[in-house]
Copies of this chain bind each other. A is one copy, B any other.
Amino acid sequence: MCPIKAWTRRKEARPQEILEAALKLFVEKGYTATKIEDIARAAGVTRGTPYLYFAGKEDIFKSLIRSLLLPQLAVGATLLQEWQGSASDLLRELIHTWWRVVGATPLSALPKLMIAEGGNFPEVMAVYNDEFIAPGRGMLRHALQYGIARGEFQIDDIEYAIEVISAPIVLAMVMMNTANSCLPKDFAAERYLQCCLAVVLNGLNTRGVSHV
């Protein structure tokens, strides 16, 4: 009825600020456990303000995912088209690009978000699968097939291999967004990717020696 202190800033960045606050909290506490007022406060506004820009909590969630997903359309697809070198290097490049474009950005929150909340938002899950997961798998698939064609890779089961190769990256993104996760302290992304590629490309076994 009688506001004590009215707004001082008026930005067109408001919606973005709200989405950023929401992302942080949804990732941290989950969708249902996050209160609108938490989001509002984290965005520096009051209870009613988010409703000026979004229809409600669910709309905030969906807009959030959408705003994360939209810029992702067609990323690094050119990388694959033009590649001339070895499949190993292509895979290295792909993984590093992936991390730069996804893992080291707010996008890295998506996997955790969708693991935790996807079941409650089937349509959002479908969009996520179609526009984020599927293209990513597609690129990996392309690289693996390229390696097989060159006689460089030997893979029995491509679909499963895609899963195996991407899992360390995905799980790292999840863990980076999880407090008290079991990730080694001072997680160094670069070294982790190196380790990941070393295992994936060469395996643990010492080169050329079969201990089986």
Which residues of A approach B to under 8 Å, CB–CB? 28-33, 86-89, 91, 112, 115-120, 122, 125-126, 129, 133-134, 137, 144, 147, 150-157, 159-161, 163-165, 167-168, 170-172, 174, 178-184, 191-192, 194-196, 198-212
Contacts and interface: CB of A to CB of B under 8 A. Distances in A.
Nearest to A161: B195
B147 A195 contact: no
B203 A202 contact: yes
B210 A207 contact: yes
Contacts of A199: 161, 164-165, 199-200, 203
Copies in the complex: 4
| Residues of A contacting B: mostly | helix
Contacts of A29: 119-120
Contact of A180 (B30, B33, B125): B125
A157 to B, nearest CB: 5
Contacts of A165: 199
A116 B116 contact: yes
A87 B211 contact: yes
